[in-house]
């Protein structure tokens, strides 16, 4: 049987980041930058005030105290956005707002709280040393400086910086487009009544949510009923606008495992048991050049297989540097059993305590137990050779739906 690591390496082997595209700035959060961003301006662009107050020559207010305030005539106002070149005449002041350009000749700002707030003339009762309350041109970013480097996973902070230097489009690796297609004639969408023998499709919905949480743009491609015609045409249709296709079900040993039968004729998908629990029946390959994962149908197995194999593949397509990750460890506070020779992904509840992270198993470990899965927030990884997990063991874990 293939090991988990071997299967992951096999799935990732031929995947490369999606070709870079230029997109509008507001759409770029969550994408990986493909081209450096160089600033065309200094930031701040000009010396400006960091306080609402009065622009002064520091030397003229040096002696100001509560008891002996310095009084200066106020010759005008500088609101933020005022662009004409102003000069501060000696022995005077100009009222200035936060973000407004400093007038020539002024070398400090006295914040309004340290004055009587006058508009004709102002009494200043505190000195403001030279440079006080001034934000200097270029102290944040210099014109020509590289402010964002290729490979950065863009978040709100990076969008703020790009916008600040005036960039409205970024060249990024796009979010992978994912189509999820569950298979099984027993499946009915939620919201529709169930006839005898039928169940609601949960995998389609769960995997769209998981793929979106992992940074993809996912859609449900519809339920494939167990006929070769339906499966074949829906799979081909899905490849038209997908960077990755996920199917669930129909891949074990059942007499109606149509996905397996159809894919043997179409594309390069290889079906293989993987030494893991749950999630043993796995398949991966391409169809019309589009990578395709066939995940097992049991809902827990499907979602867990997504975390273990599909999420890294999506990170590779998205150009992320962290395709595989160093996993954190937690202390087990209640033991459980694990099958020999298989890597177990145990549904657990992770709690961050003062003594560090701890984990305990949640409910049963059957791969149909969706309610217990919903109560878990991590998968604890039990090595292949371990058959009993004991209190006090330190084991690695994957946080479920931690986002991208």
Ligand X SMILES: Nc1nc2c(c(=O)[nH]1)N[C@H]1C(S)=C(S)[C@@H](COP(=O)(O)OP(=O)(O)OC[C@H]3O[C@@H](n4cnc5c(N)ncnc54)[C@H](O)[C@@H]3O)O[C@H]1N2
Task: Choose the one of ligand X, ligand MOO, none that binds residue 254, judging by a C-beta under 5 to 8 angstroms depending on kind.
Answer: ligand X
- Biggest CA–CA distance in the chain, Å, is 97
Question: How many residues in the chain?
Answer: 404
Provide the H-helix boundaries in 218-365: 228-239, 258-265, 299-305, 311-317
299 touches which of ligand X, ligand MOO, none (CB within 5 to 8 A by kind)?
ligand X
Q: Which does 291 bind (CB under 5 to 8 A by kind): ligand X, ligand MOO, none?
A: none
Q: What is the DSSP string of 91-143?
A: T-EEEE-TTPBPPBT--EEEEGGGB---SSEEEE-S---TTTTEEPTTSSB-T
Closest to ligand X by CB, 365 vs 404, is 365
Query: Of ligand MOO, ligand X, none, which one sits near residue 319, judging by CB under 5 to 8 A according to partner kind?
Result: none
CB proximity list for 169: less than 8 A, separation 6 or greater: 22, 23, 24, 25
In whole angstroms, give the CA distance from residue 235 to residue 66.
80
What CA–CA distance (Å, rounded) separates 57 from 318? Answer: 54
From the CB of 98, what's the least distance to ligand X, in Å? 56
Nearer to ligand MOO by Cβ, of 46 and 271: the residue is 271
Residue 189: count other Cβ atoms within 10 Å of its Cβ: 13
Among ligand MOO, ligand X, none, the one that 17 touches (CB under a kind-dependent 5 to 8 A) is none
The option from ligand X, ligand MOO, none interacting with 249 (CB < 5 to 8 A, set by class) reads ligand X
From the list ligand X, ligand MOO, none, partner contacted by residue 49 (C-beta under 5 to 8 A by kind): none
Contact residues: ligand MOO, CB under 6 A: 277-280, 296, 298, 301, 367
By CB under 6 A, name the one of 176, 285, 296, 361 that touches ligand X. Answer: 296
Q: Does 177 bind ligand X (CB under 6 A)?
A: no
End-to-end CA distance of the chain: 31
Q: What, of ligand X, ligand MOO, none, does residue 247 touch, CB below 5 to 8 Å by kind? A: none
Say what angle helices 258-265 and 228-239 make with each other, to 10 degrees.
60
Which of 127, 204, 215, 312: binder of ligand X (CB under 6 A)? 204
Q: How far is the CB of 278 from ligand X (least distance, A)?
A: 6
Q: Is residue 250 a contact residue for ligand X (CB under 6 A)? A: yes
Give every CB contact of residue 93 below 8 A, 6+ residues apart in sequence.
54, 55, 56, 72, 73, 74, 75, 122, 124
d(CA 311, CA 345): 15
Nearer to ligand MOO, 215 or 296 (CB): 296
Contact between 69 and ligand X per CB under 6 A: no
- Residue 202 interacting with ligand X (CB under 6 A): yes
Query: Is there a contact between 71 and 120 (Cβ–Cβ < 8 Å)?
Result: no
Least distance to ligand MOO, CB of residue 291, Å = 21
129 vs 341, which CB is nearer to ligand MOO? 341
DSSP type of residue 250: S
Min dist CB 168 to ligand X, Å, is 42
Residue 168 CA to residue 26 CA, distance in Å, equals 8
Take residue 400 and report the two structure tokens written for it: 């479920």
Q: Which stretch binds ligand X (CB under 6 A): 86-94, 139-147, 181-189, 340-348?
A: 181-189
The neighbour count for residue 369, using CB atoms within 10 Å, is 18
Size of the site for ligand X (CB under 6 A): 26
Eight-class DSSP state of 103: P
Write out the residues near ligand X by the rule CB under 6 A: 182, 184, 186-187, 199, 201-204, 248-254, 257, 278, 280-281, 296-299, 301, 367
């Amino acid at each position: 049987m293939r090991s988990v690591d071997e299967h992951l390496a096999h799935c990732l082997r031929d995947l490369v980041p999606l070709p870079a595209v230029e997109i509008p700035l507001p759409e770029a959060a969550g994408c990986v930058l493909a081209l450096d961003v160089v600033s065309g301006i200094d930031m701040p662009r000009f010396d400006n005030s960091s306080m609402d107050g009065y622009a002064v020559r520091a030397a003229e207010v040096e002696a100001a105290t509560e008891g002996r305030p310095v009084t200066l005539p106020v010759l005008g106002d500088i609101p933020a956005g005022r662009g004409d070149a102003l000069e501060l005449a000696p022995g005077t002041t100009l009222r200035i707002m936060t973000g407004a350009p400093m007038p020539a000749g002024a070398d400090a700002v006295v914040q309004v709280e340290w004055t009587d707030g006058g508009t004709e003339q102002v009494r200043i009762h505190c000195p403001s040393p030279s440079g006080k309350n001034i934000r200097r041109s270029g102290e944040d970013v210099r014109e020509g400086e590289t402010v964002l480097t290729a490979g950065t996973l863009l978040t709100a902070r990076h969008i703020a910086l790009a916008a600040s230097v005036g960039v409205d489009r970024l060249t990024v690796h796009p979010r992978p487009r994912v189509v999820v297609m569950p298979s099984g004639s027993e499946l009915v969408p939620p919201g529709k009544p169930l006839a005898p023998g039928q169940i609601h499709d949960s995998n389609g919905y769960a995997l769209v949510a998981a793929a979106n949480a992992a940074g993809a743009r996912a859609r449900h491609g519809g339920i494939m009923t167990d006929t070769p015609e339906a499966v074949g045409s829906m799979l081909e249709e899905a490849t038209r606008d997908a960077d990755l296709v996920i199917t669930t079900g129909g891949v074990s040993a059942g007499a109606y495992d149509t996905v397996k039968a159809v894919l043997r004729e179409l594309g390069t998908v290889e079906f293989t048991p993987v030494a893991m629990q749950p999630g043993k029946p796995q398949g991966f390959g391409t169809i019309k050049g589009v990578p395709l994962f066939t995940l097992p149908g049991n809902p827990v197995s499907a979602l867990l297989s997504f975390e273990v194999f599909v999420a890294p593949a999506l990170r590779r397509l998205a150009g992320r540097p962290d395709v595989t990750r160093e996993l954190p460890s937690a202390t087990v506070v209640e033991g459980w059993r694990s099958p020999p020779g298989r890597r177990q992904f145990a549904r657990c509840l992770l709690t961050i305590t003062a003594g560090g992270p701890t984990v305990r198993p949640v409910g049963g470990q059957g791969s149909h137990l969706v309610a217990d899965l919903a109560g878990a927030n991590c998968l604890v990884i039990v090595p292949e050779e371990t058959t009993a997990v004991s209190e006090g063991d330190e084991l690695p874990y994957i946080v479920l739906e931690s986002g991208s």
